[in-house]
Amino acid sequence: MSALPANALEASYLQERRRQLRQRLRRNITLTIDYGIMIGLAIFFLFPIVFMVVSSFKPEKAIFDDLKTITWAFIPRDVTLENFTSVFRRVPFGQFMFNSTFIVLATVSAGLIVNSMIAFALARLRWKGKIIVLSLIIALSIVPLDAIVVPLLVLVNEFPWIDGSIGWLDTLHVQIVPFIADAFSIFLFYQFFIGIPRDFDEAAYIDGGSPFAVYRRIIVPLSRPVFATVAILQALFLWSSYLWPLMATRGEASRPLTVGITSFYGQDVKWAQILAFASMITIPVLILFLLFQKWFVQSVVASGLKG
Partner 1 sequence: MKTSQYSNRHETIYAWLMSAPALIGLFVFVALPLLGGIYWSFTNKRLISPLPTEYIGLQNYWNLLGVQVIRLDPETDAATGQVQTDLDGNPVYPRTRAIVRGNPAYAGFRLWFTKDVLGNRYVVLARDPTFLRALVNTFVFVLVIVPGQGGLALIMALLVNQRLRGRYVFRTIYFSPVVTSMAVLAIVWTFLYNPDQGLINRFLGAISFGSIKPAWLVSADSALLAIIILSAWQAAGFQMIIFLAGLQGIPQALYEAAQIDGGNTWQQFRHVTIPQLRNTTVFVIISTTILAFRLFTQVDVMTKGGPQDATVTVVFHAVDTGFRQQKIGYGSAVTVLFFIIVVSIALIQRALLKSDVEVE
Residues between 96 and 115 with contacts to partner 1, criterion CB under 8 A: 114-115
Q: Which of 34, 170, 202, 207 binds partner 1 (CB under 8 A)?
A: 34
The backbone torsions φ and ψ at residue 251, rounded to the nearest 5 degrees and listed phi first, read -95, 170
Closest listed residue to residue 279, CA positions, set 69, 49, 5, 105: 49
Q: Which of 15, 28, 135, 293 binds partner 1 (CB under 8 A)?
A: 293
Q: Per DSSP, what are the bridge partners of residue 160?
A: 166
CB of 3 to partner 1, least distance (A): 37
Q: Which of 11, 147, 194, 203 binds partner 1 (CB under 8 A)?
A: 147
Per CB under 8 A, does 180 bind partner 1? yes
Q: List binders of partner 1 among 252-291 (CB under 8 A).
A: 257-259, 261-262, 265, 271, 274-275, 278, 281-282, 285-286, 288-290
Nearer to partner 1, 148 or 253 (CB): 148
CB of 83 to partner 1, least distance (A): 14
Per CB under 8 A, does 153 bind partner 1? yes
Q: How many residues form the binding site for partner 1 (CB under 8 A)?
A: 95
Interface mask toward partner 1 for 227-246; x: CB under 8 A: ---------x--xx-xx--x
Q: Which of 181, 196, 220, 222 binds partner 1 (CB under 8 A)?
A: 181
The backbone torsions φ and ψ at residue 182, rounded to the nearest 5 degrees and listed phi first, read -145, 120
Report the sign of the C-alpha dihedral through residues 196, 200, 205, 208, in that order: negative
For residue 81, give the DSSP letter.
Answer: S
Q: List binders of partner 1 among 43-82 (CB under 8 A).
A: 44-49, 51-52, 64, 67-68, 70, 73
12-20, 75-83, 153-161, 223-231 -> range binding partner 1 (CB under 8 A): 153-161
Per CB under 8 A, does 191 bind partner 1? no
129's CB contacts (< 8 A; 6+ apart) are none
CB of 286 to partner 1, least distance (A): 6
Largest CA distance in the chain: 112
Distance between CA atoms of 237 and 242, rounded to whole angstroms?
10
Contact 279, 52 (CB under 8 A): yes
The backbone torsions φ and ψ at residue 238, rounded to the nearest 5 degrees and listed phi first, read -70, -40
Contact 273, 90 (CB under 8 A): yes
Q: How many CB atoms are closer than 10 A to CB 197?
A: 8
